[in-house]
Amino acid sequence: MKIARKIRLLIVEDDSVQDQILTDKLIEYNKDFQIEHFVSGELLIAYLNNNRKALKKHYLILDYFIQTEENKDGLNGMGVINHLAQKFSDIKIIVFSAYENDDNLKFNTLSTEHANVIGVVKKSEYAFNTLQSIIRFDFIKEMLKLKQKKYKTTRIVYIVFAILALAYFVVTTYFY
C-alpha cells in the first residue's frame, strides 16, 4: 500500500553507508518520501529549531548509538528523544539501532515510556520492511483520526441544522 501524501523523514545516522542503504530502501518503498539526513542529534535539533514553521508530518528514524569518536560528548539517542519530547513532541520517533545484548533491555520500554517513540527496530535484513510498516501504520492511524474529527464536526453541523429546521417548522406551523 502506497502512502499518497508527502511524509518528511528525518534520519539521524552517523554511518554513511547505513544511511545510504536506509535511504535507498525507503525511496524504493515510496518515492514521495522527503528525506533529510543528519549525522548527529545536535544537527537535527538545530535544523528543527530553524525550521519550526515547516514542521508538519515528520518521522524521525534515529540511530540510538550516534556518539562517535569525533563526537564523544554529543547527544546519544536517549538525549535526542528527551529533547524532542520537550520541544517537538509532534515528531514521531522510530529508534533504529544494531543493539545486540541484554544490557540494552530498556529498548523494549522506550515506546511505552516516551509518547513520541512509536517503534524500536533492530538493524537486520527485515528492518526496512518493519520501518515501512511502522510509518504506514502510524500514518494511516493519524489519517483516520483526522477523518473521525471531520466526521464528528460534520455530524454536529448536521444536528444543528436539523434543530434549526425543526425550530423553523414549529415556528411557521404554529405561529403563522
Amino acid at 28: E
At 23, which amino acid appears?
A: T
| Per-residue pLDDT tens listing for the chain (176 residues) | 444 467 888 999 988 888 898 888 888 887 878 889 998 889 999 998 888 666 667 899 998 887 656 666 778 888 888 888 888 888 899 988 877 554 554 666 666 677 788 888 888 878 888 888 898 888 888 888 888 888 888 888 889 889 999 888 888 887 76
Counting Cα atoms < 13 Å in the Cβ hemisphere of 111 gives 11
Which residue in this structure is represented by grid cell 554513511? 16
Domains, in order of start, for the chain: 8-144 (3.40.50.2300)
Report helix, strand or coil for 28: helix
Helix (H) or strand (E) run with residue 152 in it:
helix 127-175
Predicted TM-score of the model (pTM):
0.75
